[in-house]
Structure 1
Amino acid sequence: MTSSSSSSTCCCFLLFLFCFFCFDSGEAFAVFDPHWHPATATWYGSADGDGSDGGACGYGTLVDVKPLRARVGAVSPVLFKGGEGCGACYKVRCLDPAICSRRAVTVIITDECPGGYCAAGHTHFDLSGAAFGRMAVAGEAGQLRDRGEISVIFRRTPCKYPGKNIAFHVNEGSTNFWLSLLVEFEGDDGDIGSMHIKQANSMRWLEMKHVWGASWCIIGGPLQGPFSVKLTTLTTRRTLSARDVIPRNWSPKATYTSRLNFL
């Protein structure tokens, strides 16, 4: 092969890579961190339990049922990110070969653990007893939990909810002048960087404000449904728009499921 053809092949390959990684925000590559990072971990709740109800992300009783059940975790502020880290998924693995399996456990961020082990600047996971025990070799889950705090490594991984589409829960207290939504079952990134809403018979997307956890709100009114919702992920800036997902006759505490999810 001549140097000219080699150069051409190289340029084509680089162009392919550029096109692969530089899709617009709706086609960005999946969130994935190939590198493992050091952290510490503890566990809470009952030894084989699913963790506590609710949590700082606001998912409520969702943490008690599949697919979140037994996969929940609280994190220190550095990963919680003031609530914008809610819904992100991580693989966590312990390191002692005498008691730890090489298998990592996948956890979904549903809560924050401030203070103590979870002091600001310290990367820490506080896992459900079940998730913590799954990092052990067979028969050693109890021994691993007896150690309390352990050293672990972690990395970001895509969230996967087979058969689930993104849903929007209307928070209690919402009215035609103050509408608050909580996002459930967001695949891939799992986290949210921004949200917008569009009212009935309107072409204008209105920006929602982050309230706390995985909840966002808009103040105005009177707001008129049905509402379309557009969300942008925090990490890879992918966007998804669910048209008229919240009906005209919506009600507080109801959950409305879209027909879409990130792959």
Structure 2
Amino acid sequence: MQLLRTSPHLLCFLTLLLASKMSAVSASGQVPAHKPVSDQHWYPATATWYGSPEGDGSDGIGGACGYGSMVDVKPFRARVGAVSPVLFRNGEGCGACYKVRCLDKSICSRRAVTVIVTDECPGGYCSNGRTHFDLSGAAFGRMAVSGEGGQLRNRGELSVIYRRTACKYPGKNIAFHVNEGSTNYWLSLLVEFEDGDGDVGSMHIRQAGGSEWMEMKHVWGANWCIIGGPLMGPFSVKLTTLSTGRSLSARDVIPGNWSPKATYTSRLNFSPSKP
């Protein structure tokens, strides 16, 4: 994913070009049905850990979703998870939350750890269509009975069960980080702290005084972009979740005098679905 970050403008352009060529095909397709985000059924998977033993996984880097240093602080801290491509979904799985529990009663707690998808593990244990969680050292150790976190990490790969769960960010509202390099002709946003589904299926913006919602394109991770211009703020932003299709509109959340690398917090959030 590092390569994608080095040329975001080009990547955005190529994404829009590809989308325009596919629009005739997608327009006639049906919207897929999605299960409720919280699932009471547990499914088999495997798990490993990465980073430092008590660390946050993508320490100081942030991982393939683009959350950056956010992974090192609450509410992400110690809840970081990299997932195999079947759950990462080319970045559309970013922000989704899962409960993961190991099964060895001799060392594993009955308690499940809740993790947030912030990264992808594309090879090794995560290849060949496997469902795999590569957890931060801290999250992996939390699955152990008290005092046995180190011994559990020494086991290496574990058999686990997992299920989707609603994301909960108490005291947080949805925020939009304006990515570095954004201009009045190229705007890229990173979505943060989405309660409930956690994932984003589509994203639109509306310019100052406008009535039309303009579609943004998913670029990589949790990042979306639009090319046009000149784009005039303040901008309203509409999100639709991938999992359940719920929508939310934040009016004039990005001010007219916005600046790259700034983060703008809305007054809204989804209510987490009940587990």
CA–CA separation in structure 1 for the residues paired with 2:147 and 2:233: 54
**What is the DSSP-based 3-state SS (H/G/I as helix, E as strand, rest coil) of the residue aligned with 1:66?**
coil
**Contact 1:199–1:223 (CA<8 Å) still a contact in 2?**
yes
**What is the DSSP-based 3-state SS (H/G/I as helix, E as strand, rest coil) of the residue aligned with 2:138?**
helix
User: Quick check: 44-53 or 166-175, which moved more?
Assistant: 44-53
**What is the DSSP-based 3-state SS (H/G/I as helix, E as strand, rest coil) of the residue aligned with 1:159?**
coil
Q: Which residue of 1 aligns with 2:225?
A: 217
Q: CA deviation at 1:51?
A: 1.3
Q: Which residue of 1 aligns with 2:165?
A: 157
**Contact 2:233–2:254 (CA<8 Å) still a contact in 1?**
yes
CA–CA separation in structure 2 for the residues paired with 1:206 and 1:222: 13
Q: CA deviation at 1:239?
A: 0.2
Q: Which residue of 2 aligns with 1:48?
A: 54
Q: Which residue of 2 aligns with 1:101?
A: 109
Q: Counterpart amino acid of 1:64?
A: D
Q: What do the CA deviations read for 1:205-244 (whole angstroms, capped 9, x no partner)?
A: 0000000000000000000000000000000000000000
Q: CA deviation at 1:89?
A: 0.1
Q: Which residue of 1 aligns with 2:37?
A: 31
**What is the DSSP-based 3-state SS (H/G/I as helix, E as strand, rest coil) of the residue aligned with 1:90?**
strand
CA–CA separation in structure 1 for the residues paired with 2:35 and 2:169: 18
User: Quick check: 46-55 or 58-67, which moved more?
Assistant: 46-55
Q: Which residue of 1 aligns with 2:3?
A: none
CA–CA separation in structure 1 for the residues paired with 2:35 and 2:56: 31
Q: Show the 5 A alignment for 1:156-235.
A: 156-235=164-243
Q: Which residue of 1 aligns with 2:270?
A: 262
1:239 maps to 2:250: no
Give the TM-score normalised by structure 2: 0.85
1:139 to 142, 147, 150: 147
Counting aligned pairs with the same residue, the percent is 82
**What is the DSSP-based 3-state SS (H/G/I as helix, E as strand, rest coil) of the residue aligned with 2:191?**
strand
Q: CA deviation at 1:120?
A: 3.8
Q: What do the CA deviations read for 1:84-117 (whole angstroms, capped 9, x no partner)?
A: 0000000000000000000000000000001100
**What is the DSSP-based 3-state SS (H/G/I as helix, E as strand, rest coil) of the residue aligned with 2:126?**
coil
CA–CA separation in structure 1 for the residues paired with 2:95 and 2:226: 21
1:59 to 67, 92, 95: 67
**Contact 1:136–1:144 (CA<8 Å) still a contact in 2?**
yes
- How many residues align? The count is 236
Q: Which residue of 2 aligns with 1:123?
A: 131
**Contact 2:191–2:222 (CA<8 Å) still a contact in 1?**
yes
**What is the DSSP-based 3-state SS (H/G/I as helix, E as strand, rest coil) of the residue aligned with 1:144?**
helix
Query: What is the Cα-based RMSD across aligned positions, in Å?
Result: 1.1
Q: Which residue of 2 aligns with 1:91?
A: 99
Q: Counterpart amino acid of 1:40?
A: T
CA–CA separation in structure 2 for the residues paired with 1:176 and 1:74: 34
| Structure 1: gaps spanning 5 or more residues | 1-27
CA–CA separation in structure 2 for the residues paired with 1:215 and 1:46: 27
**Contact 2:35–2:243 (CA<8 Å) still a contact in 1?**
no
Q: CA deviation at 1:164?
A: 0.1
